[in-house]
Amino acid sequence: MQGSEMIGKNTMARVNLTVNQFDKSHKFYSGLLPEFGMTTVNDGPDFLYCVGARTAIGVRRCDPEFEGERFEQYRVVLHHICLRAKSR
């Protein structure tokens, strides 16, 4: 990129969450996300993935060694976020 050239923004492509209480999270998100117009495209024992418009949300079961951990808001924790750009 040169000078004031900017990346054309479009939308958020996806967010993936890794959770320690997958069954509870699955119940919550599989009920909530369709209310936002999202369609479930993967509903497995360890991963829920919903897509709507141009955005997706994934909810993944954490690895067994982390099941006892609790969420801490200010701890580094996001699995990943993917943004979509109109151009490179």
Classify 36 as helix, strand or coil: helix
The whole-model pTM stands at 0.74
Measuring CA to CA, which residue among 85, 82, 84 is closest to residue 16?
82
Distance CA 36, CA 20 (A): 24
Q: Is pLDDT above 60 for 77?
A: yes
pLDDT digits (tens, 9 = 90+) for 51-68: 998 889 999 999 999 999
Find the mean pLDDT for residues 68-75. 81
Contacts of 78 (CB under 8 A, 6+ apart): 15, 17
pLDDT digits (tens, 9 = 90+) for 1-32: 444 455 555 667 888 889 999 999 999 999 99
- Residue 3 backbone class (left: φ over 0; alpha: ψ -120 to 50; beta: rest): left
Q: Where are the domains of the chain?
A: 9-85
CATH code linked to domain 9-85: 3.10.180.10
Residue 62 is classified by DSSP as P
